[in-house]
Amino acid sequence: MNTLLFQEFFVNLEEWSDKLQTLKDASNFLVEVVKEPIGLEIKNQVLMINQRFTDVKAEIGKFMQQQSLQQSQRTYQERVIRLQQWLDGTEGMLRSHPTCTLKDLKELMRQLDVCINVVPVLRSVCTEIGCERVMIRYH
């Protein structure tokens, strides 16, 4: 089903529920005031509409759950990539052998400060993706 159509329907779901309730109320009134075969037909049609609406709401629930799961997976992957990039960059910097000049050592200290300042942000990212033990090992 078209995702855009589904999203537009989600926004108006409460409105559609209200419209269905109005239809049920009107049909109950009509069933009481019209003759039996017509009243029975109205009742059956409204029951069919109600069942279809219930089915659609169930599908919407499944769709919303799937959308939420996909968003969580995307967020998880983005955070894992961010963490891996930081770990790779920091490891590469730490493995490099700087020349022993004051300028090079100052640059190395600046890079270490940058890495250390990123640790609290990455710690929260790790907590969110469940890899806090990884950060403890590197801190």
Q: What's the length of the chain?
A: 139
- pLDDT at position 6: 58
Degrees (nearest 5) of the Cα angle 73, 78, 83? Answer: 125
Name the pLDDT band for 132 (thresholds 50, 70, 90): very low
Domain extent for 123:
3-138
- pLDDT at position 136: 44
Instruction: Report, as an integer, the average pLDDT of 120-135.
Output: 66
Cα 130 to its chain centre, rounded Å, is: 17
pLDDT in tens, 68-98: 888 888 888 888 898 888 888 888 877 877 6
How many domains is the chain built from? 1
Task: Check if the beta carbon of residue 122 is closer than 8 Å to that of residue 83.
Answer: yes
**CA 21 to CA 25: how far, in whole Å?**
6
**CA 67 to CA 65: how far, in whole Å?**
5
pLDDT in tens, 38-53: 999 999 999 999 999 9
